[in-house]
Each structure stands twice: as C-alpha cells, then as structure tokens.
Structure 1
Amino acid sequence: MYQRDYLMRMIEQFSMTLGQVLFKRRNQQFAEAMELLTQAMKQLLGLNSKLVLALSVKDLMALLTTQGQFDAGKGLLLSDMLKAEGDLLVDAAEEDEGIACYMKSVELLLEMRWMQEATELEQEMEERIQDLLTIIKPGLMPLRVLKPLVHYYDSAGRLAKAEDTLFFILDADVDQTHWIDSGLYMVERWQKMSTDELAQGELNAEEVQETYTQLVKMKQKASKIERM
C-alpha cells in the first residue's frame, strides 16, 4: 500500500511536467520540451537522457537499487520518461532516436516484470508494455529486447507471438543452440496444453507439432555443424 501511494505521488508530480512537455510539443517547441524531460531524468537518476540511453538496462536498474532493494516505482517512472522522450523525438523527425527511447523503455519494463519488488505494479507495467509494442515492430528490435520479449509472450499465454519472436531470435543469433533448446522446452509445454488453451494463444496442436519438428531439425543441423 505504501509503495502504491508513493508511486502515485511520483506519477502525479511527473504528470505536471508531462503536461508542459505536451504543450511545448504541440507548439513545436522541441528543444524546450526536451529540456524539461532532461531535468526530470536528472532529478530521478542524476543523469541526462543521453547517458540514460548509453547505459544498459542492467546498469540503470542498479542505479535504482538502494541497499539491495530495487525501486520499482522509479523504474516505472523512468520508462514513462523514456516513452515521452521517444514521442517527442519522433514528432521532431528524429525517428531513429525516438525508437531507441521506446526500445529502452520496453526493455526496462520487460526486465522489471520478473522482480519481486515490482509485483504490485503488474497492471501498470502491462499497460505500458502493450502500448509500446503497438509502436515498435519486432523486425526493428535488437536481440537484447527480443530475448526477454519471447519469455513475456510465453508467460502471458500469447503463444503465437512467442513463436514468432523465437524465430526472429533464431534468424539473427549466431549462437542458436541455447535458443533452440529453450524453444524446444517451451513448445514441449505447449504440447501438454488443451485445445482451448492453445486457441487462446492463437495456435493449434498441428501448428505446435510443426514448430517442434522444425526446432528438432534445427538442433540436429546445429549438432552436425559443431562436430565438423
């Protein structure tokens, strides 16, 4: 309860800044809007947005951790700031930079989902992840985002999405062995699901079996290459 009250206060404070950012965006005062976001990030982390984007999500989460306790409220707020910055950059015709902000935001949320400290914020994280995934196309995502994304889709029961994301990884990752094994483990679980469960994930038993067969063939091929 304390964490949620604390989070709501932080979001309320940021909402005032965000309102000013939106006003300046509509008036195409992009530099002024960016300065507001930069100041907000400095207050949160002591870093400007360029440094935030340069750091890995692991490093950002370490900065949000005090005495071994991760501050999930600040993590959620940082993801909002990155999303707002992405919107601003896209409006300013700096789409690549904007997409990079979206990527960092969704990657942070995907990592936060598995943390005990973020349990109370599950609904808030889910809403933000869904919003970001409507903007970012999977084909544009780097492996560091695709890898937690496949686990997200699987845990959410979105099996077809998990399957598609797995094959994006397999197409791009030089070291496929780990992800072939992970994929086989995942699909073996799907094979035990009911018809209704598979249908909810937008798959059927035949499609699951085809995926399993394809992964087995890929593993056999990879094993042959390793023995050469």
Structure 2
Amino acid sequence: MFRRDYLMNMIEQMTEAVGQILQLKKELKHQEALLVIDEFLDKRFGISGKLIRSLSDKDLMAVLTTNGVIETDKIQAIAVTLKQESDLHAETGNDDASFVSGLKALQLFMRLSLVDAEPTITNPSKEAEELLERFKTYELPSYTKQLQAEWHEGEGQYDRAEDVLYELMEDGVTTSEELEAFYRRLLFCEDGKLEAGGLPREEVEHGLHALVSK
C-alpha cells in the first residue's frame, strides 16, 4: 500500500515536471526548462542533482539501494530526466552536454534492464535501444561498451554482443578469454534462442574454435 502510494506520487510529480519541460521546449524556453530539471533532481531523490551527475551509474545504483533492494523507480525517474536534459541540450546545439546527459541515462537504462526492473515509469530496454541509436555515430567509452555488451547478451542480442566484444578486444580492453567465456555461455542456450539472437550454434562453435585454436 505504501509503495503504491509512493509510486503514484512519484509518477504524478514526474508527469508534472515532464509536462513543464515539454511546454517550455514548445515555447523555445530551453534555459527555463533546464532549470526545471535542476530543481527536480535537487528536490526529489534525497540526493543533490550535483551528486547524481558526478556519481557513475554503478555508484548511483549503489547509493539508491536500501537493504539490498534497488530503488529502481527513482533510478528510472532520474534516467528519464537526464534523457530530457540531453534532448534540451541537443536542441540548443550543445552536443557535448547532450552526450554527457544522454550517456548517463543510457547507462542507467541498461543497468535497470539487467536487473529486470519493473517498467513502472518507462521501459528501460526500449529507452536504452533508442539512446544507442541516437549515439551510433559516437565512439562510446570502453566502460560503456562493456556494459553494452553485457546488456545485449541479457537482451538475447547475441550477434550485437559479439560485435561489441570484438571491438573491445581489438582496443585491448577485453581479453580473448572473456570472449571465449561468452561463447561458452551461449553453448548452453537452446538453438532457437541462438537463432533469434542472430548467432546460430554453428557460428558460436566456429567463433569458439577460432579463439582456442590460436
């Protein structure tokens, strides 16, 4: 009962804030909209907006974990807000700031998806996919790529996970042993799941053989 009331209150405040932001965007009052975001981040989550922006996505998840329970509703709200902030910066031509906010939102959405967060405010997987598409021309940081590979695997997008892992290995970030472990995990999957993930069993076996035979 308490959680339902808390969640309804959060959704109501989130809806109100997003409504304000969209109206200000429509009126081309982008700076005012950014101030709404600053105020929302400062007042709603029990930690300051400055801290939210300075913490890594992993550390932010840890801070918003109580007695082992991740406060996924709050994290979804934060990620949605940062995505809105990214949109605003993009519309004013501030691509660097847009990327920073969008990247943090992307990382949070992927982590939410990996912990199977209930989509109470938004669908983390769909949001992550949208942001990846938006940033497809950018060179993502290695840390984000590692999270992306894990997320693709969790989503059953095995061919995309493989592509990212090879990129990381070429960059010297991921070892061949980690790629080998990926292939060996896939060997436990059903054939239909591998086919749906774009990496049929014969391709998994071929990839594994190519690694271990070097």
1:197 and 2:198 correspond: no
Aligned to 2:48: 47
> How has the CA–CA distance of structure 1 residues 167 and 7 changed in structure 2, closer, same or farther, with 3 Å as cutoff?
farther
The within-5 A match list for 1:12-161 is 12-45=12-45, 46-48=47-49, 51-115=51-115, 119-121=117-119, 124-137=123-136, 140-161=139-160
Counterpart of 2:204, as a letter, is V
Q: Over residues 186-213 of structure 1, what are the superposed CA-to-partner deviations in whole Å (9 max), with x where a residue is unaligned?
A: 2123345454332211223443234224
* Partner Cα separation in structure 1 for residue 97 and residue 171 of structure 2: 22
Task: Return the TM-score normalized by structure 1.
Answer: 0.79
Amino acid aligned to 1:78: I
Which deviates the most, 35-44 or 193-202?
A: 193-202
Give the whole-Å Cα distance in 2 for the aligned partners of 1:192 and 1:74.
35
- Matched residues in 1 for 2:5 and 2:124: separation? 16
Give the Å deviation of 1:51: 4.4
Give 2:61's aligned amino acid: M
User: CA, structure 1 residues 132+94, in 2 after alignment: closer, same or farther (shift >3 Å)?
Assistant: same
Deviation at 1:41, TM superposition (A): 0.4
Q: Is the 8 A contact 2:114 2:154 kept in 1?
A: no
Instruction: Name the CA distance, whole Å, in 1 between partners of 2:60 and 2:128.
Output: 18
Equivalent AA in structure 2 for residue 85 of structure 1: E
Aligned to 2:207, the other structure's residue is in SS state helix
The Cα RMSD (Å) is 2.6
Letter in 1 for 2:208: Y
**Aligned-pair distance for 1:4?**
5.4
**Aligned CA distance change for structure 1 residues 2 and 158 (closer, same or farther; 3 Å):** farther
Partner of 2:177: 181
C-alpha contact 1:83 1:102 (8 A) present in aligned 2 = yes
Share of identical aligned residues, percent? 27
Corresponding residue SS for 1:140: coil
**Residue 76 (structure 1) shift:** 0.7
Does the Cα contact within 8 Å between 1:34 and 1:85 map onto a contact in 2? yes
* Greater Cα offset, 149-158 or 76-85: 149-158
Unmatched 5+ stretches in structure 2: none
Structure 2 residue identity aligned to 1:107: Q
Counterparts of 1:2 and 1:202, CA distance in 2: 43
Greater percentage in helix:
1
Give the total of aligned pairs: 212
**Aligned-residue offset at 1:131:** 2.5
Q: Distance in 1 between matches of 2:2 and 2:178?
A: 38
Q: Unpaired runs of 5+ in structure 1?
A: 221-228
